[in-house]
Structure 1
Amino acid sequence: MTDTTKMTETVKKVTADASKQVETVFADISERAKVAVAKSQKMAEDVAEFNKGNLEAIVASGKVAAKGMETLGQDAAEFGRKNFESAQAALKSFAAVKTPAEFFKLQSDYVKSAFDTLVAQTSKNTEISMKLAGDVFQPLSNRIAVAAEKIKTAA
């Protein structure tokens, strides 16, 4: 074997070895890129699913709030109607009064009754509002718990 032949063989061997190493490196890079893309896609899907859950919680919360406000509105209308009827009845009673003492007694009874009714209605509205606030926040609270669990799992 001549020196030229040896050198040619050595160059071919070095070139083949280098080609294999480059192919191995690029195959490794390609595999790592595929894994990274798959992880990124999974993460994007998880984020989209989490955001979908958040949106659903907001919608559910809004529905509860709307229903609660509707109930409060109906109660307020009913309270107003009853007060109007009570005022009409009181006016009829005032029209039939014969003495100042009777007038002041009727007025005192009406004011006391109106005040007691107002206190009862205010108490009822406060109770309904507090329950409504809890009910409205519940879907959001559930999502916060899910987020905390995901953070705990990721850590």
Structure 2
Amino acid sequence: MAADEIKPAAVKAEAKSAAVKAEAKLADVKKLTEAGPGLGRKTTEPGAPAARLTVEKTVTDMTKATEGLFKAAEEVAEFSRGNAEAVAKATQLYVAGVQDLSKQTLALFQGLSETAIENAKAFAAVKSLKEAADLHAAFTKAALEKTFADSAKLQEAALKLAESSFAPLSARMTVAVEKFSKPLAA
């Protein structure tokens, strides 16, 4: 994370350095245009001031363009950092949710195993075929009802997991749409 924090500072320092260099070049160009074709004399040629203004305007425009590019690079870096944070948060929520779903599924299977053991013990005490059939029907019905109820709970938990783990990504998508639709509308 420390490397990410250094990058915007480095980009700002680089932009400032580029701006200082551009201003120095502009000052050099001004000196050159004031000095004529001779040795440091002021020029009195008719096109000299127009040429100087053109060079100054070009340098100024290039300086502004460079500053704009550095600002855009900073914005892209910041936006990318936000995307990475959203993916990390979504992954964290997903992993925690899958762990919870696994615990719930394990509890479901443990309950079914315990019921099966109880059923086996009850079958050991059966004295007639009719009693065994009735016992089997009752246990099967109870196991199916419990399985359906627990499955519904697992489905709800899985849906909540999907919603919660996708929420950070959805929020970033909204930010992206808002951020990138503004220049198109403007």
TM range (shorter): 0.7 to 0.9
Report the counterpart of residue 66 of structure 1 in structure 2.
95
Q: Percent identical across equivalent pairs? A: 30
Q: TM-score, normalised by structure 1?
A: 0.87
Matched residues in 2 for 1:13 and 1:136: separation? 73
The residue type paired with residue 164 of structure 2 is: D
Q: What are the residue-to-residue correspondences of 1:29-44 with 2, within 5 Å?
A: 29-44=58-73
Note the C-alpha offset of 1:150. Answer: 0.9
Matched residues in 2 for 1:80 and 1:45: separation? 52
Matched residues in 1 for 2:56 and 2:154: separation? 69
Residue 13 (str. 1) matches residue 13 (str. 2): no
Picking from 100, 116, 138, the partner of 1:87 is 116
Picking from 126, 132, 143, the partner of 1:97 is 126
Q: TM-score, normalised by structure 2?
A: 0.73
Number of positions where the alignment pairs a residue of Structure 1 with one of Structure 2: 142
Matched residues in 2 for 1:54 and 1:61: separation? 11
Question: Secondary structure in 1 aligned to 2:44?
Answer: helix
Structure 1 segments of 4+ aligned residues over 3 angstroms from their partners? none
Residue 126 (str. 1) matches residue 152 (str. 2): no
The residue type paired with residue 145 of structure 1 is: T
Question: Secondary structure in 2 aligned to 1:60?
Answer: helix
Report the counterpart of residue 51 of structure 2 in structure 1.
22
Matched residues in 2 for 1:13 and 1:152: separation? 52
Matched residues in 1 for 2:58 and 2:66: separation? 12
The residue type paired with residue 63 of structure 1 is: Q
Matched residues in 2 for 1:153 and 1:56: separation? 23
Deviations 1:77-106, CA, capped at 9 Å, x for gaps: 111111111100100000000111110111
Q: Which has the higher contact order (CA 8 A, sep 6+)?
A: 1
Residue 115 (str. 1) matches residue 144 (str. 2): yes
Where in structure 1 are there 5+ consecutive unaligned residues? 1-11
Report the counterpart of residue 7 of structure 1 in structure 2.
none
| Structure number with larger C-alpha Rg | 1
Where in structure 2 are there 5+ consecutive unaligned residues? 1-42
Greater percentage in helix: 1
